[in-house]
Amino acid sequence: MATFIRILHIGLEFELSYAGSRFPLAEKGWYTTNRENLVLSFGLRTTIFDPGRTSQKKVRSSGLTEAGQNRKAGWTTLKKTVLQNLYIARLSLERITWYRLKRENQLLVAAQKQKEWAAGLGSETVWLSALIEADNLLIEEYREWSRLFTAWYLIRNLTEPNP
């Protein structure tokens, strides 16, 4: 509901002034050539209609519910972030195992290519390419370790209470 005429301010201003080229009461003819002014001002200031005041009261009363909603949203975001990083950590563990097994297989392939090259059946570039592929798989394994530790530290920081 809107608020009508809440506070009334009344102002009254009185001004008496004199202007002219002759000094009053000291020179002759000062009252005929000079100008005197009398100004009276009367003012009122009030609030006639204030629709914002009602909405401000509603905002104050809903402050507690808004804080509760913010708290609930914060807990939801926290839970979502922790679960997301748990999934990332689990996936990283699986990928680390996969990259490790794939690298072991690639090292066996590289050893076979080296034997073929030593016997004169294969080329050195194929053998070195197989070794480079094994090293690339090791790099990917290390990247997964980095993702795993990042997720783990984030989960730890979000779930442990501060000292």
Cβ atoms of 13 and 65 within 8 Å: the answer is no
pLDDT tier at 58 (50, 70, 90 boundaries)?
A: low
pLDDT at 65 over 50: yes
User: How is residue 21 written in tokens?
Assistant: 């080229």
pLDDT at 150: 94
Kindly report whether the global pTM for this prediction surpasses the value 0.85.
Answer: no
Amino acid 52 reads: G
φ/ψ region of 6 (left if φ > 0, alpha if ψ in -120 to 50, else beta) reads alpha
Instruction: Give the residue ranges of DSSP H helices in 5-162.
Output: 30-33, 51-61, 63-119, 124-159
68-117 pLDDT per residue, tens: 778 888 889 999 999 999 999 999 999 999 999 999 999 999 999 999 99
pLDDT at 13 over 70: yes
127-137 pLDDT per residue, tens: 999 999 999 99
pLDDT at 67: 72
pLDDT at 1: 47
